[in-house]
Structure 1
Amino acid sequence: MANELRLRALEKDDLIFLHKLFNNPDVMNYWFSESYMSMEQLKESYDKDKDNPRNREFILTNDDEPLGFVALYEIEQRHRNAEFAIIIDPAHQGNGYAGTATKLAADYAFSVLNLHKLYLIVAKANKKGRHVYEKVGFRAEGDMVEHFFINGEYHDGVMMHLFQRDYWKMK
């Protein structure tokens, strides 16, 4: 089944799928964000950012079924780095899709964009997420102590990175 997974560019028709994800508190807590986004806000954001050369946004699909959202944000051509972000629809979690999606995004970032480094921030308590990232080759870079406020409590984050050279060695 993992052979059928692919990333395709985010389209306006995908906003209904994103709206569902971006309004799910269980999903957005891992993005350190409030689960509050109207469809109108999402459409405005899409229209404003669709041609932004510093972002690449994808839908992870299995055949035509959307499984998740993957993005490269703040792409820096001079420094050749970008922030990696991912959401797997809770209905499809636990199937190994996050690892495959992360590899597909890394392949794109390092092969197509020729980036030197991908980085991300993950909640220290998100052991499953950290395991997926480490399996792909991300390494902890540093702790962000009490950096995020979620559900009435402060949480630590972990900055992680993956260098192009290390990724190709692992493949």
Structure 2
Amino acid sequence: MLSELQYNVIQDLLAKVLDVDPSMVTPSTHLRDELCLDSLQQVELQAWLAARGVDLAALPPGGPQTVGDVQALVDAVDAVDAAHDGGQARQAASLPGPASGPAHPVLHSAQLALRPVSPEYVPFLYDLATREEVGWRWRFRGAIPDIETFQAGLRQGALSQFVVVVAPNGEPVGTVSCYNADLHRGIAFLAAAFVPEHVAGGVPMTAVGMFLRYLFQVWDLRKIYMEVPDFNYTQIASGAGKYFEVEGHLREHSYYDGRYWDEYMLAIYRRHVVDPRPRP
């Protein structure tokens, strides 16, 4: 029954973050099978848990399965906080310090970091671009270039590009790239790819969000486009209007596996990523 769930889980997470009708939820409601959370919503769930002090590294494979599991994780953190200082130390640690001039770009967190594309990462990027689970979705759409051709074109058209590595061992798990920038019009394009083992976790959303904040901070961009085929769009569709706007829909645009797929042109505006600020 709803009375068995704390108010913060029902209203803060389900209604506000995941846009789920609270009247449809009980502690036994399954997050994927019944609420049908897409990949983006699952990442939002992990980000919400991390913000409340849940150790994501300690989660079981696949993460929480039911709404009751989510509540149990939050209750465990609350119990630890109550036994110590009521969580005041954790809350105080998250407060920003006083501003002292322009802030430098942030390219790391406790979870991951964005590293320049140095030669040591080229073999990883080549493997990522040609992996059978990833290659058909990304850049070459199944074509397999030789590594010399791949390396020669790695930075072609790129304004900025990073390799995503995870803490604590610095293992590379993905890449983010901004390309075809038109700084006169204030627009650019974004691409990202990650090894499948990290797609369901919080790494992609954290890395892409960090990269977007970097781009909007360093360059006077108005919006950043993403070209997303339908078989990828269904994984992030819940973010429309919240994390991006759908500004184009190309019917039967890309061929794969016996059919033509629609492609979506998504636009990420500054307001989707950073707080509004006066524009000159």
Give me the TM-score of the superposition, normalised by structure 1: 0.85
Task: Tell me: CA distance 1:136–1:14, structure 2 relative to 1, closer, same or farther (3 Å).
Answer: farther
Alignment counterpart, residue 36 of structure 1, candidates 117, 120, 144? 144
Which amino acid letter does the alignment assign opposite residue 251 of structure 2?
V
- Contact persistence 2:176–2:191 (CA under 8 A): yes
- Contact persistence 2:115–2:164 (CA under 8 A): yes
Q: CA RMSD in A?
A: 2.3
Is 1:11 aligned with 2:118? yes
- Contact persistence 1:22–1:37 (CA under 8 A): no
Residue 130 of structure 2 corresponds to which residue in structure 1?
23
Alignment counterpart, residue 266 of structure 2, candidates 121, 144, 160? 160
Task: Count residues in correspondence.
Answer: 165
Distance 1:158 1:26 in 2: 21
- 1:95-130 deviation digits (Å, cap 9, x = unpaired): 121111110111111011221111101122322244
Task: Tell me: CA distance 1:35–1:21, structure 2 relative to 1, closer, same or farther (3 Å).
Answer: farther
Which amino acid letter does the alignment assign opposite residue 18 of structure 1?
L
Distance 2:137 2:267 in 1: 18
Shift of residue 152 of structure 1?
2.6
- 1:69-107 deviation digits (Å, cap 9, x = unpaired): 100011111011110100011132211211111101111
Is 1:139 aligned with 2:245? yes
Shift of residue 159 of structure 1?
0.7
- 1:110-153 deviation digits (Å, cap 9, x = unpaired): 0112211111011223222444x549711211211111011232
Is 1:149 aligned with 2:258? no
Where has structure 1 moved over 3 Å in runs of 4 or more?
A: 133-136
Alignment counterpart, residue 208 of structure 2, candidates 90, 94, 102? 102
Distance 2:257 2:160 in 1: 30
Distance 1:45 1:87 in 2: 17
Percent identity of the aligned residues? 24
Distance 2:185 2:219 in 1: 12
- Contact persistence 2:162–2:177 (CA under 8 A): yes
- Gaps in structure 2 of 5+ consecutive residues: 1-56, 58-108
Q: Which has the higher strand share?
A: 1
Question: Which of structures 1 and 2 has the bigger CA Rg?
Answer: 2
Shift of residue 65 of structure 1?
0.9
- Gaps in structure 1 of 5+ consecutive residues: none
- 1:31-90 deviation digits (Å, cap 9, x = unpaired): 2622412112122224xx37x6x5211101113110101000111110111101000111
If asked which structure has higher relative contact order (CA below 8 Å, sep 6+), I would say 1
Shift of residue 12 of structure 1?
1.6
